């Protein structure tokens, strides 16, 4: 048994997060903007777009300085699939009896393994993933041609002994993309990116220390760990460094029958929605990607008792205490009125922006949400200026039109940082 098998399901969920989303068709808008998590771009592209990252850094704690360390880096390598007819001429679509094939970016799972003793660090290990072209015949109807570009990278490891009687060390793992001469367009650069990358670690001879819930002696050391692009959590005796926020010892729900490619998914809803697809839509799902075809087949043949397991599962019960009737809003620090979302303003350039200010949305600077791309350029009105517990300022915005009316009626707005909005100076 591979020692990483215990965490394989969770790691696979990270690897294929957002790979293809409902309605699982290549033609759908959300499936034309993909791969937002754990992406390490070639360094040339990071110069073109500084918001992208070309490396990640994991720092974690070990409660000993003598250990055999096993490191596994996993990621997806994109491959471009083109569609050819029977004469091997490229076409926009290839219909067959069961499926409709269209051009699509698939991905291949890649793994980089290395084993070393702590006393041999620091150490840097380069790796290379080859490119290539494969052709698959689709009966007598045509062909699918898959092409991959080469990728190079490095895994660098180092340790720092920590003061005190515990013999603990801080371990650093830095994964970098070193691929030269990439495309200046994101779609092209993704073909030479480390997509959805994550790191799994095992240590023989010592134990990993939780950064989320460290023992008292390690609390200051844990706070000093500098993690960039990923964050390590305990996974049994292993460590999983993930580009998506996890708690220690993450697990896949036992009721789940398979990946639906959305880690925030509600399996029951997505399964039921998938069953409502038309025959033509299902043909496109089958032709979009082998993983989407397998998902569709699994949902269509799921026994009723398996579906029942997805409904109404309760993991735990806890008491929720209702607030006192005279409890103040969470943002009110006192009676002096020093914080008032409806009257406070924030400076955006030279313009004070507050409740009633008209703005144009420019989201995506932090690339926190792939759906923000659909809001670029939209107009709206500021409803409130808020501060979170970390002292960061956020602006609540209601969109123009019917969407904004719904947002106002429910009190649920869109939130942006001040550098993601553009004041419309002089607008009513």
Kindly state whether residue 385 falls inside one of the protein's structural domains: yes
Domain presence at residue 311: no
Alpha helices per DSSP H over 194-344: 219-223, 267-275, 279-288, 290-300, 304-309
Listed residues 242, 267, 299: the one ending a domain: 299
| Least confident interval from 164-178, 202-216, 362-376 | 362-376
**Same structural domain for residues 35 and 117?**
yes
Which tens digits make up the pLDDT trace of 62-114? 998 888 999 999 999 999 999 999 999 999 999 998 999 999 999 999 999 99
Q: What CATH number corresponds to the domain at position 399?
A: 2.30.30
Average pLDDT score over the chain: 87
pLDDT of 426 above 90 = no
Q: Return the percentage of the chain with pLDDT > 90, whole number.
A: 55
Please name every residue paired with 194 in a beta bridge, in sequence order, or none if there are none: 40
220 in any annotated domain: yes
Question: Is 263 domain-assigned?
Answer: yes
Are residues 45 and 119 part of one domain? yes
Tell me if 335 is assigned to some domain.
no
Q: What are phi and psi of 309, to 5 degrees?
A: -65, -20
- Parent domain of 400: 345-423
pTM of the shown model = 0.71
Position 325 scores a pLDDT of 56
Same domain as 351, residue 290: no
What total number of domains does the chain contain? 2
pLDDT at 310 over 80: no
Longest Cα separation, the chain: 78
Looking at residue 380, its pLDDT comes to 94
Residues 6+ apart with CB under 8 A from 84: 90, 91, 94, 142, 143, 144, 145
* Domain boundary, last residue among 299, 333, 359: 299
Whether the predicted pLDDT of 203 surpasses 80: yes
Residue 213 domain-assigned (yes or no):
yes
Q: How far is CA 196 from the centre of its chain?
A: 7
Q: What is the pLDDT of residue 335?
A: 47
Which of 236, 268, 299 is the endpoint of a domain?
299
How far apart (Å, rounded) are the C-alpha atoms in residues 394 and 374? Answer: 20
Query: Of residues 335 and 208, which shows the higher confidence score?
Result: 208
Q: What's residue 263's pLDDT? A: 67
E strands, 130-213, are: 132-138, 142-148, 151-161, 169-177, 195-204, 208-209
Tell me: pLDDT of 214 over 70.
yes
């Amino acid at each position: 048994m591979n020692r990483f098998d215990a965490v394989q399901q969770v790691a696979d969920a990270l690897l294929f997060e957002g790979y293809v989303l409902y309605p699982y068709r290549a033609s759908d808008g959300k499936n034309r903007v993909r791969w937002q998590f754990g992406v390490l771009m070639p360094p040339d592209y990071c110069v073109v777009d500084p918001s992208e990252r070309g490396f990640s850094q994991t720092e974690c704690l070990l409660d000993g300085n003598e250990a055999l360390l096993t490191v596994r880096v996993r990621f997806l390598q994109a491959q471009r699939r083109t569609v050819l007819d029977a004469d091997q001429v490229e076409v926009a679509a290839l219909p067959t009896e069961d499926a409709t094939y269209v051009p699509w970016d698939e991905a291949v799972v890649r793994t980089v393994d290395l084993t070393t003793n702590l006393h041999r660090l620091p150490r840097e290990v380069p790796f290379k993933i080859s490119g290539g072209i494969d052709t698959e015949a689709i009966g007598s109807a045509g062909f699918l041609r898959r092409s991959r570009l080469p990728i190079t990278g490095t895994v660098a490891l180092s340790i720092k002994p920590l003061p005190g009687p515990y013999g603990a060390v801080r371990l650093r793992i830095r994964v970098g993309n070193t691929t030269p001469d990439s495309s200046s367009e994101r779609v092209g650069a993704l073909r030479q990116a480390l997509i959805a990358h994550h790191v799994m670690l095992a240590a023989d001879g010592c134990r990993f220390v939780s950064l989320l819930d460290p023992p008292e002696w390690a609390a200051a050391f844990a706070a000093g760990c500098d993690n960039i692009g990923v964050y390590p959590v305990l996974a049994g005796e292993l460590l999983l460094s993930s580009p998506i926020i996890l708690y220690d010892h993450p697990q896949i729900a036992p009721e789940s029958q398979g990946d639906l490619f959305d880690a925030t998914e509600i399996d029951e809803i997505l399964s039921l929605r998938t069953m409502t697809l038309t025959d033509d839509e299902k043909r496109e799902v089958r032709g979009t990607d082998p993983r989407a075809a397998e998902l569709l087949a699994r949902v269509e043949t799921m026994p009723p008792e398996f579906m029942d397991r997805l409904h109404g599962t309760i993991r735990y019960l806890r008491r929720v205490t209702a607030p006192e009737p005279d409890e103040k809003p969470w943002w009110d620090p006192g009676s002096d009125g020093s914080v008032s979302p409806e009257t406070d303003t924030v400076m955006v350039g030279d313009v004070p922006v507050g409740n009633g200010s008209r703005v144009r949305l420019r989201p995506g600077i932090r690339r926190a949400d792939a759906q923000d791309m659909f809001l670029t350029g939209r107009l709206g009105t500021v409803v409130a200026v808020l501060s979170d517990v970390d002292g960061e300022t956020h602006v609540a915005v209601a969109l123009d039109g019917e969407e904004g009316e719904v947002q106002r009626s429910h009190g649920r707005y869109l939130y942006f940082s001040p550098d993601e909005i553009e004041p419309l100076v002089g607008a009513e």
